Chain A
Amino acid sequence: MRITHSMVSQNINKNLQNNLKKLEFYGHQMSTGKKFTKPSHNPVGVGRVMGYSASIDRNEQFRLNMNQSRGWLDNTEGSLRNGLDVMQRIRELAIYGANDSLTAEDRRAIAPEVLEFIDHLVGVANTESNGLYHFGGNQTLKAPYIRENTYNIVVHEDSGILNDEDHQVIAEGMQNGDYQLEQTSIESAEDLDARIEASQQYLQGAAQSIFGKDTNADVDPDPDSEFSSSVFLEVTGVDADSGVVEYRYSSHQYDLNGDYENKEGTFELVYGGDEEQTVSIGNFDVDISGLDELDPSDVSNLTVGDRAIYNKEPSRTDGETYDQITLSGEHRGGNSENIYVFSEGVLNDQEVELHYHSLDTFERSPEKGAVYDGKLSLHYGTFEDQDDQPASTFSYDSAGFPVYYGDDKDRIQEISPHQQVIMNLSGKKAFGENEQIFDAVFEVYNALMDDDREALGDKALEKMDASVNHLLEQLAQVGARSNRVEAMYDTLHSENLFLREVRSEIEDIDLAEVITDFTMQENAYRAALATAQRMLQPTLVDYMG
């Protein structure tokens, strides 16, 4: 083939280009540390590197997430341990309280200490970190356990208006006394209806005891009355020999305007006497049947001071808007003895006027046996703000039973692409259904307050033991989960090390190899330059002339 000078120079140029390109290629690899930086350098490699990078980032995210579940589980575990310690202390106090040598005062003196522990326990159940309550299930933004019946009822002495802590009017015309209302947030008329049923059942139970066991004696004051009425009965004397029982009564009859007529008096019943006895109570006569079937000695079931209240719901035709309800009050963590009797007249959609007749039967009440009558208004929903009213605080402190307001949901966290872990423990699981743990400690508290030595040594202790076992079980479960998360944390770490290694194998250069290649290429380039120099210089022109 004929070779021309321009061919020579073009070829030299081309070869130099090629050499330089390769040199640049290795130089680029050396300076970036990567075998390729663009998809076209190695399409499949880039695809795989992208995949591995995504997996690595994802695992990092899992590990970050896991820090949170680890925190939660650790916190939960800590809280449960804390709770267990408290339970042990309360249990010790219960055992101490069950000691025969203690007096009622001694026992009552222990109660405040138990209450302190209860407070602490409620605090544990309401553990929060970073603004999130751990034991609320998915309800993490509010405290899961709210202590109910802790209404510090305030009676304005001059106005007789009953307020709760938020100065919402609960009732007017109340007298200062040692009781408190069960639930004051009545939001609709339906709420009132539900209460009527509940309280009537309660009274039926009382009816049996006031006339002795197994009587079917019944009191029905004024069966046809359109008006509501109530009768309060109290046993004032018992003669077991003759079977004569003396009663005191106080009866109220209400009209639609809420005015009432009050009559008081006494009567006697003879057990095992005539077939039927009729007694006059207030405005009406009452037939008492079934007394003849009894033996005079049955009156021994009755003691002076036994009381009962009978309520009469007015016979109504549909569409009338008045009603009578009874609210029962509660004292000190749930053992109810107080009875409120209310007659109701619905005034409008927002407000209802109630007439009450209440008897304080609570054992530790200084006013035990006192009867209160009056009239009060309840408002549905919103209450008028009575901020400017001077307040005086109600006398009893309530222990306040904590009621669970969270849910039973699991908070699930993904800790690897295919594994999930429950990072929380709902209050329902941790502290038991129906507030099992708190029920147990209140059992202890109430028993101490009530001087119930037997319950302390028996029922309360039993409940305490069951509760401690429950806590231990939950603790074991949380511990197991915590271990699982720890293990996965380490697994992901080593998986990421592996993934990084694989990715590096695909995309990272072997520096020694690249340096060798680079040096060789450099030599080739130098050689090409030297050759070019010598090839381009001479032509025949230089040697002629």
Chain B
Amino acid sequence: MTIFGSFEIGRKALRAQHKGMEVSGQNVANANTPGYSRQRTNLVSVESPIVANADMAPGDGVRVSHVERMYNEFYQAQVVNSGSYKAYWDMRRETSISAESIFMEPDDYGINKSLGEFFDTWQELSSSPEEAAVRSGLRENAVSLTASVEDVYERLEDMRLDKLDELDMRVGEANRVIDEIGELNDKLRFVDALDKDSNEMLDKLDLAIEELSELIDIQVYRKSSGAVDIFAGGQLIVQEDRAFHMELETAGEEGVEVVNHRGKALNLTAGRITGLTDAVNKDLPHIQEELDKVVEALVEEVNGLHREGFGLDKQEGGIDFFETIPEDATSAALNFRVSQDILDDSSKIAASAEPGEPGNGEIALKIGQLRDYREEGRLDSVSIEEYYRGLITSMGVEAQESERMAEAFGRTKDEFEELKSSASGVNMDEEMLKMTEYQHAWNAAARYLSTVDEMLTSLFTELGR
């Protein structure tokens, strides 16, 4: 090697250490950037060309082989996976907690209280069927019972419609994310062809995948270029630079499902979107149906007895207490009303089992006793009140369960994120040390160059004199 070759070593050293410094700078700068994976400068020594009869050569200095992106593929996949489930259970929890707060149990404003008061007033009427005050009290209690049931039902319906809106929005969001993934795939292919480092793009891609996984559960197939193909629910939604948009379609009576661009249903099992379709298709309609069942049983039983009875006013019998639920009604709860006859005239409330007996409260007593009445095979063979309480309990269990699941998956996700960030995260101390190292190396290389320069100077000046 000539002395000029020594300059070359110094130049390479300066450049390599500077690169290292740059990378540290990038790491420190992005210490708090979401999705950023720390990078490491990989230095390799440059060996001397093999020349016959050459001197013993120490090598030709240093060069940066590549800037490595520090990350762990396995942990990344786990974060994606557990993220889907966490998002799913978070959604379920949101739904069930909102639903249970609509019911306002076990407060004094819930249906349980109204139902109890309704039966209590019948009880009271049975012992004072002549009293107009008790009659109108009963009517008011019945009206407030029907109003609170209807209110709960309507609010559940409003909530369902809100969820439907959100679902629509989320599907749009997912489509935007897969568009982004498609674009990144395209860029990655291009960069790969140029054989360049694509660390920042990969970070962005992983971030997009994470974002997508919170909406739907996905399978990711990574290629050597770093680009990904993505399947969701058995259907391909991203292939290279092409993103296949998903859509929302009505399915069944009131339900919806997510379909791919060809109209094929995606068989999704997790993610916020699945949580939303579950809420819209199953969870909320189920609660509404249960409420309908309670109302149907109540109307049928009360009316059945009430029709046998007679009011205070005239000798008329055969009047309904609640309006009959029409055969073709979509919901009993929405048609839950005190009949107009009773609203107009509380003396028509049929407390008596016999016409013209104002002191007879037998029918009122029987209606009051309905609260203990269990019919084999209907409402799971329990009383109306018990069935309603069962509904509340099961909603509570549901909420508790989703809370627990969300918590569990959240923990799993956190764990994997931690493990992931153990590989990808930026440690300041580490970067400081690296900076110091590179600084020292750079300083030394600079000194080396000035020494070589001195050597050359002395060679020129001493020899030339």
Write the residues of chain A forming the contact surface with B, with a CB cutoff of 8 angstroms: 1-7, 10-11, 14, 37-44, 46-47, 49-51, 53-54, 57-58, 61-62, 64-65, 68-69, 130-132, 136-141, 407, 409, 411-414, 417, 423-424, 507, 539-541, 544
State whether A139 and B123 are in contact (beta carbons under 8 Å apart), knowing that A7-B425, A42-B396 are contacts in the complex.
no
Q: A1's closest neighbor in chain B, by CB?
A: B422
The answer to whether B390 has its CB under 8 Å from any CB of chain A is: yes
A6 touches B365 (CB 8 A): no
In the bound assembly, the distance between CA atoms of A42 and B243 in angstroms comes to 45
In the bound assembly, the distance between CA atoms of A51 and B436 in angstroms comes to 71
Can you identify 29 A-B contacts, CB atoms within 8 angstroms?
A5-B425, A5-B426, A7-B425, A10-B418, A43-B392, A43-B395, A44-B397, A46-B106, A47-B396, A53-B112, A54-B116, A57-B113, A57-B116, A58-B116, A58-B123, A58-B371, A65-B127, A68-B127, A131-B130, A137-B359, A138-B360, A409-B360, A412-B126, A412-B365, A413-B126, A414-B126, A414-B127, A423-B127, A539-B428
State whether A50 and B365 are in contact (beta carbons under 8 Å apart), knowing that A57-B120, A407-B357 are contacts in the complex.
no
In the bound assembly, the distance between CA atoms of A95 and B435 in angstroms comes to 131
The answer to whether B354 has its CB under 8 Å from any CB of chain A is: yes
**Which residues in A have their C-beta under 8 angstroms from that of B414?**
14
**Which residues in A have their C-beta under 8 angstroms from that of B357?**
137-139, 407, 409
Within 8 A of A (CB), among B100-125: 100-101, 103, 105-107, 112-113, 115-117, 119-120, 123-124
A140 touches B130 (CB 8 A): yes
B436 touches A43 (CB 8 A): no
Among A4, A14, A42, A69, contact of B427 (Cβ-Cβ < 8 Å): A4
In the bound assembly, the distance between CA atoms of A75 and B357 in angstroms comes to 21
B393 touches A139 (CB 8 A): no
Within 8 A of A (CB), among B421-448: 421-423, 425-429, 432-433, 436
**Which residues in B have their C-beta under 8 angstroms from that of A5?**
31, 425-428
The answer to whether B213 has its CB under 8 Å from any CB of chain A is: no
State whether A2 and B116 are in contact (beta carbons under 8 Å apart), knowing that A44-B393, A61-B123 are contacts in the complex.
no
Among A2, A40, A64, contact of B124 (Cβ-Cβ < 8 Å): A64
State whether A132 and B422 are in contact (beta carbons under 8 Å apart), knowing that A40-B396, A57-B117 are contacts in the complex.
no
In the bound assembly, the distance between CA atoms of A412 and B358 in angstroms comes to 13
In the assembled complex, how far is the CB of residue A11 from the closest CB belonging to chain B, in whole angstroms? Answer: 8
B429 touches A540 (CB 8 A): yes
State whether A4 and B432 are in contact (beta carbons under 8 Å apart), knowing that A46-B106, A69-B127, A131-B130 are contacts in the complex.
no
Within 8 A of A (CB), among B339-396: 352, 354, 356-362, 365, 368-369, 371-372, 385-386, 389-390, 392-396
The answer to whether B403 has its CB under 8 Å from any CB of chain A is: yes
Which has the most chain B C-beta neighbours within 10 Å: A40, A64, A69?
A40
The 9 closest A-B pairs by CB, nearest first: A39-B396, A43-B396, A40-B399, A4-B425, A138-B357, A140-B359, A47-B393, A138-B359, A61-B120
State whether A54 and B128 are in contact (beta carbons under 8 Å apart), knowing that A2-B422, A39-B395, A47-B392 are contacts in the complex.
no
B423 touches A2 (CB 8 A): yes
Among A40, A64, A409, A423, contact of B96 (Cβ-Cβ < 8 Å): A40
Given contacts A40-B100, A51-B385, A65-B123, 12 further A-B contacts (CB under 8 A): A3-B427, A4-B421, A5-B425, A40-B399, A54-B115, A58-B120, A62-B123, A69-B127, A130-B131, A139-B356, A139-B358, A140-B358
In the bound assembly, the distance between CA atoms of A49 and B123 in angstroms comes to 22
Among A4, A51, A57, A539, contact of B389 (Cβ-Cβ < 8 Å): A51
B432 touches A541 (CB 8 A): yes
In the assembled complex, how far is the CB of residue A438 from the closest CB belonging to chain B, in whole angstroms? Answer: 22
Q: How many A-B residue pairs have CB under 8 A?
A: 179
State whether A4 and B422 are in contact (beta carbons under 8 Å apart), knowing that A50-B112, A414-B123 are contacts in the complex.
yes
The answer to whether B97 has its CB under 8 Å from any CB of chain A is: yes
The answer to whether B461 has its CB under 8 Å from any CB of chain A is: no
Q: A11's closest neighbor in chain B, by CB?
A: B418
In the assembled complex, how far is the CB of residue A131 from the closest CB belonging to chain B, in whole angstroms? Answer: 7
State whether A411 and B361 are in contact (beta carbons under 8 Å apart), knowing that A6-B31, A43-B397, A68-B128 are contacts in the complex.
yes
Q: B362's closest neighbor in chain A, by CB?
A: A412
Q: A131's closest neighbor in chain B, by CB?
A: B130
In the bound assembly, the distance between CA atoms of A328 and B123 in angstroms comes to 51
In the assembled complex, how far is the CB of residue B323 from the closest CB belonging to chain A, in whole angstroms? Answer: 26
B130 touches A412 (CB 8 A): no
**Which residues in A have their C-beta under 8 angstroms from that of B103?**
39
In the assembled complex, how far is the CB of residue B276 from the closest CB belonging to chain A, in whole angstroms? Answer: 19
In the bound assembly, the distance between CA atoms of A139 and B96 in angstroms comes to 53
In the bound assembly, the distance between CA atoms of A47 and B112 in angstroms comes to 10
In the assembled complex, how far is the CB of residue A82 from the closest CB belonging to chain B, in whole angstroms? Answer: 21
State whether A38 and B100 are in contact (beta carbons under 8 Å apart), knowing that A54-B112, A544-B436 are contacts in the complex.
yes
In the bound assembly, the distance between CA atoms of A412 and B363 in angstroms comes to 11
**Which residues in B have their C-beta under 8 angstroms from that of A68?**
127-128
Which has the most chain B C-beta neighbours within 10 Å: A42, A43, A132, A417?
A43
The answer to whether B32 has its CB under 8 Å from any CB of chain A is: yes
The answer to whether B400 has its CB under 8 Å from any CB of chain A is: yes
State whether A6 and B124 are in contact (beta carbons under 8 Å apart), knowing that A40-B96, A541-B428 are contacts in the complex.
no
**Which residues in B have their C-beta under 8 angstroms from that of A141?**
130, 358-359
A2 touches B399 (CB 8 A): no
**Which residues in B have their C-beta under 8 angstroms from that of A41?**
396, 400
Q: A133's closest neighbor in chain B, by CB?
A: B359
**Which residues in B have their C-beta under 8 angstroms from that of A138?**
352, 354, 357-360
**Which residues in A have their C-beta under 8 angstroms from that of B369?**
414
In the assembled complex, how far is the CB of residue B397 from the closest CB belonging to chain A, in whole angstroms? Answer: 4
Among A11, A136, A413, contact of B127 (Cβ-Cβ < 8 Å): A413
**Which residues in A have their C-beta under 8 angstroms from that of B100?**
38-40
**Which residues in B have their C-beta under 8 angstroms from that of A11?**
418
A2 touches B425 (CB 8 A): yes
Q: B410's closest neighbor in chain A, by CB?
A: A14
Which has the most chain B C-beta neighbours within 10 Å: A39, A40, A132, A541?
A39
Which has the most chain B C-beta neighbours within 10 Å: A50, A64, A68, A130?
A50
Q: B390's closest neighbor in chain A, by CB?
A: A47
In the bound assembly, the distance between CA atoms of A141 and B313 in angstroms comes to 12
Q: B110's closest neighbor in chain A, by CB?
A: A50
In the bound assembly, the distance between CA atoms of A51 and B127 in angstroms comes to 24
In the assembled complex, how far is the CB of residue B281 from the closest CB belonging to chain A, in whole angstroms? Answer: 22
Among B124, B352, B421, B436, contact of A65 (Cβ-Cβ < 8 Å): B124
**Which residues in A have their C-beta under 8 angstroms from that of B432?**
539-541, 544
State whether A50 and B359 are in contact (beta carbons under 8 Å apart), knowing that A39-B396, A540-B429 are contacts in the complex.
no
B112 touches A39 (CB 8 A): no
**Which residues in A have their C-beta under 8 angstroms from that of B368?**
414
A51 touches B386 (CB 8 A): yes
In the assembled complex, how far is the CB of residue B146 from the closest CB belonging to chain A, in whole angstroms? Answer: 19
In the bound assembly, the distance between CA atoms of A130 and B132 in angstroms comes to 12
Q: A52's closest neighbor in chain B, by CB?
A: B106
**Which residues in B have their C-beta under 8 angstroms from that of A65?**
123-124, 126-127
State whether A38 and B31 are in contact (beta carbons under 8 Å apart), knowing that A57-B117, A65-B123 are contacts in the complex.
no
In the bound assembly, the distance between CA atoms of A411 and B112 in angstroms comes to 30
Q: B403's closest neighbor in chain A, by CB?
A: A40
Among B106, B371, B421, B433, contact of A6 (Cβ-Cβ < 8 Å): B421
**Which residues in A have their C-beta under 8 angstroms from that of B422?**
1-4, 7
Which has the most chain A C-beta neighbours within 10 Å: B106, B131, B352?
B106
In the assembled complex, how far is the CB of residue A64 from the closest CB belonging to chain B, in whole angstroms? Answer: 7
Q: B120's closest neighbor in chain A, by CB?
A: A61
A40 touches B354 (CB 8 A): no
**Which residues in B have their C-beta under 8 angstroms from that of A137?**
357, 359
**Which residues in A have their C-beta under 8 angstroms from that of B393?**
39, 43-44, 46-47
A7 touches B418 (CB 8 A): yes
**Which residues in A have their C-beta under 8 angstroms from that of B426?**
4-6
**Which residues in A have their C-beta under 8 angstroms from that of B356?**
139
**Which residues in A have their C-beta under 8 angstroms from that of B107?**
37
**Which residues in A have their C-beta under 8 angstroms from that of B116?**
53-54, 57-58
Q: B125's closest neighbor in chain A, by CB?
A: A65
**Which residues in B have their C-beta under 8 angstroms from that of A6?**
31-32, 421, 425-426
B130 touches A43 (CB 8 A): no
